[in-house]
Structure 1
Amino acid sequence: MLKKAFFGVLHALGYYSRYTSVLHHPDKQVFTPGYVLDFNEVERAFLEDSARSFNYAIDYSLGYRQKEQYLIRLQNVEVLGNSGAVVLDGKVVVESVGEVSRLAKSDAFKEVSLLLPKNQSGRYTSVLHLPWADNNNYHWFFDCLPRLYLVLENTQEPIQVIMRRNMALYQLETLAFVLKDYPQAEVVYIGKNEKWQVDEFVLPSFVANAQSGYLPREVVDWLRHKVWQGYGVQQSSRKRRIYISRAKAKTRRVLNEQELLPLLDRYGFEVVRAEELTYQQQVQLFYETEAVIAPHGAGLTNLLFSEQCQVLEFHPANLIKTHYFLLCKALDFRYSAVMGTTGDKLENYTVPMQEVEAWLEGVGI
């Protein structure tokens, strides 16, 4: 009794120390089984370099398994407004937040924050994923919106989609684009300090894996076309070449960028700073782009909206991430990587000019 009362106090303060899995729930519906991607020798070498840089904590060189896609119907759960987590019988449902490691890394599940309970009748779903996707376009487009594909395509009954009011403009816009053709779905807003008790909750699986922009073809095509149509992307004969600068960022800056820019200019590359563009302008720009060069960063998320593109990504030698290689794999884009020097404490590094020039000469653009 004392133990139950103790956990009751913690839960009232928004603190959850225990978790559970519902992968074997009797109401789980699998719509697409898992499968394994094949890689060629060059791709495996890149994935091996990446795995080594992370001390093999994530290793796709031995095979990449696309997870099965499913929905699970849960009864009498709580939805936490501060994190988007779903709670069943006092335990956070791992499948609602992605994976166990994110429970450990995120204060959103363990912060002391009074959550006011509110009973809600009806059928609900949510793809909130905080703080990871609070205002991060990568996590929004790969961890959040793909999950709605599963709900909207496979749920015909009326359903309410729980979101937060303080979403970024591009999130509000693209959410509206995605929901436009699904009259059964309605958005409802939860407060950061609210905890909703709901009768029925439809839990969609995460589609993308950790450090991966790979989405199954039917999902990536659905998402691309929804955003293209929503922003009214215009066909253009103009083919652009862009370099995404992180000069104003705090981390992962290319230290010899000023030396690099004249070389890129000779090959027709223009410098782009995504933060200076509206999201509609970013989508239109990438739709028209035939070649992108960039240091690793969220700006490369917009490759999702390129019609066809070649990509050169820079990485510090000690931190090689696979997100956009796997996105290019999904989109059948030609991808290359250049490894720079070992990154400093802010992951800033220098890139080898000769390797960049060799790529520019060899890709035929």
Structure 2
Amino acid sequence: MLKKAFFSLLHTLGYYSRYTSVLHHPGKQLLSQTCVLDFNADEKAFLEDSASSFNYAIDYSLGYRQKEQYLVRLQDVELLGNSGALVLDGNVVVESVGEVSRLAKSDAFKEVSLLLPKRKAGRYTSVLFLPWADNNNYHWFFDCLPRLYLVLEHTQEPIKVIMRRDMAPYQLETFAFVLKDYPQAELVFIDKHEKWRLDEFVLPSFITNAQSGYLPHEVAEWLRHKVWKGYAVEQSGRRRRIYISRAKAKTRRVLNEQELLPLLERYGFEMVRAEELTYQQQVQLFFEAELVIAPHGAGLTNLLFSEQCQVLEFHPANLIKTHYFLLCKALGFRYSALVGTTGDRLENYTVSVEEVEAWMKGIGV
């Protein structure tokens, strides 16, 4: 009884220990059915290695189901400016934050009692996904912007799209690129200390799955072309070979990178540190790339903007992640993984220089 009373008190104070689902809400509009991807034997082997490294918490070797896509029209809800979460009848809407586990991982859902409430009339939507997309380009391009495709392509009525002013410049830029061709959409800004009570809200589903950059063809092409056009990508005809270094990162560094660089230089690769480039420069660079080698990291998000390329991704043996394999699967890019030594506490590891050269010879570089 005491435990129940404690959680009821937290709930009353705004610390939302409860949640609700709108998957069966009468306002749900189904836009596409689920589908299952097919994998060949080599792809299944990679996926099983990945599953093993995570103790089979996620095992896509047994099958990968693309989520259904939908919109849910809700009335009289609250949007939390610190997270983008929706609150319906006093409960956090699971589908506004992706999954139940996010509720436990973010302090943002425990600050709502401090937010300043404002009543807002009209029709709204949002794809805020904080703190995960806070200056993280992977979450921005795979968890946030693709959801706008569902809203903008299937909502003809005037709608206000909620954004935060304090987002990274590339996020504000690419957000504007996406909205540009939709006159029914108006951009409005919410403060992180506000919660808005909204008459009507159009909630788009998340499109990507956990550890996956897979986007349906029509969504990926829509987003790629919006960003290419927005950044005025040049059709230079130049084909580049790039290696993305994480030497300045705190985690997932290739410890023997200095042994690797002479080999890469001999095969015409240029070393790139993504953090030293503007986002327009990153998009142009990846658009021109024909070969990309990189340790796993958010820098590989920009594969989304490659016109056509082949990819070699490094992984520590104890953390083999599937995000960019599934992105390449969606885009039709040839993908290979090279598994290095077991990562240390910062996920740093070494890779075999000989295996890198064998890969390059194998694809005829």
| 1:10 maps to 2:18 | no
Alignment of 1:169-208 (within 5 A): 169-208=169-208
User: SS at 1:72's partner residue?
Assistant: strand
Structure 1 CA distance, aligned partners of 2:133 and 2:58? 21
2:13–2:113: 8 Å Cα contact kept in structure 1?
A: no
Q: Normalized against structure 2, the TM-score is what?
A: 0.97
User: SS at 2:285's partner residue?
Assistant: helix
Q: Give the superposition deviation at 1:17.
A: 1.0
Compared with structure 1, are the counterparts of its residues 324 and 101 closer, same or farther at alpha carbon in structure 2 (3 Å cutoff)? same
Alignment of 1:107-256 (within 5 A): 107-111=107-111, 114-256=114-256
Letter in 1 for 2:182: Y
Structure 1 CA distance, aligned partners of 2:358 and 2:291? 15
- 1:199-234 CA-to-partner distances (Å, cap 9, x unmatched) read 000000000101000000000000000000000000
Structure 1 CA distance, aligned partners of 2:296 and 2:342? 14
Alignment of 1:1-365 (within 5 A): 6=9, 9-11=12-14, 15-111=15-111, 114-365=114-365
Structure 1 CA distance, aligned partners of 2:339 and 2:123? 49
Letter in 2 for 1:203: L
Letter in 2 for 1:122: G
Compared with structure 1, are the counterparts of its residues 159 and 4 closer, same or farther at alpha carbon in structure 2 (3 Å cutoff)? farther
Q: Give the superposition deviation at 1:111.
A: 3.8
Compared with structure 1, are the counterparts of its residues 95 and 266 closer, same or farther at alpha carbon in structure 2 (3 Å cutoff)? same
Moved more, 2-11 or 216-225: 2-11
Structure 1 CA distance, aligned partners of 2:265 and 2:113? 51
Q: Give the superposition deviation at 1:237.
A: 2.0
Structure 2 CA distance, aligned partners of 1:341 and 1:113? 46
User: SS at 1:61's partner residue?
Assistant: helix
Q: Give the superposition deviation at 1:354.
A: 1.4
Moved more, 196-205 or 112-121: 112-121
Moved more, 352-361 or 246-255: 352-361
Structure 2 CA distance, aligned partners of 1:58 and 1:309? 27
Structure 1 CA distance, aligned partners of 2:63 and 2:236? 38
1:113–1:193: 8 Å Cα contact kept in structure 2?
A: no
Structure 2 CA distance, aligned partners of 1:5 and 1:122? 32
Q: Give the superposition deviation at 1:3.
A: 8.8
Q: Give % identity.
A: 82
Structure 2 CA distance, aligned partners of 1:217 and 1:139? 18
Letter in 2 for 1:166: D
Q: Give the superposition deviation at 1:352.
A: 1.2
User: SS at 2:134's partner residue?
Assistant: coil
Letter in 2 for 1:147: R
- 1:9-39 CA-to-partner distances (Å, cap 9, x unmatched) read 521xxx2111111101111111111100000
Letter in 2 for 1:45: A
Aligned residues: 361
Structure 2 CA distance, aligned partners of 1:34 and 1:143? 18
Structure 1 CA distance, aligned partners of 2:69 and 2:310? 29
Structure 1 CA distance, aligned partners of 2:7 and 2:105? 26
Gaps of 5+ in 2: none
Q: Give the superposition deviation at 1:113.
A: 6.0
Q: Give the superposition deviation at 1:109.
A: 1.3
- 1:123-149 CA-to-partner distances (Å, cap 9, x unmatched) read 000000000001100000000000000
Q: Give the superposition deviation at 1:6.
A: 3.5
1:37–1:66: 8 Å Cα contact kept in structure 2?
A: yes
Letter in 1 for 2:108: A
Letter in 1 for 2:29: Q
Runs of 4+ in 1 over 6 A off after TM superposition: 2-5
Q: Normalized against structure 1, the TM-score is what?
A: 0.97
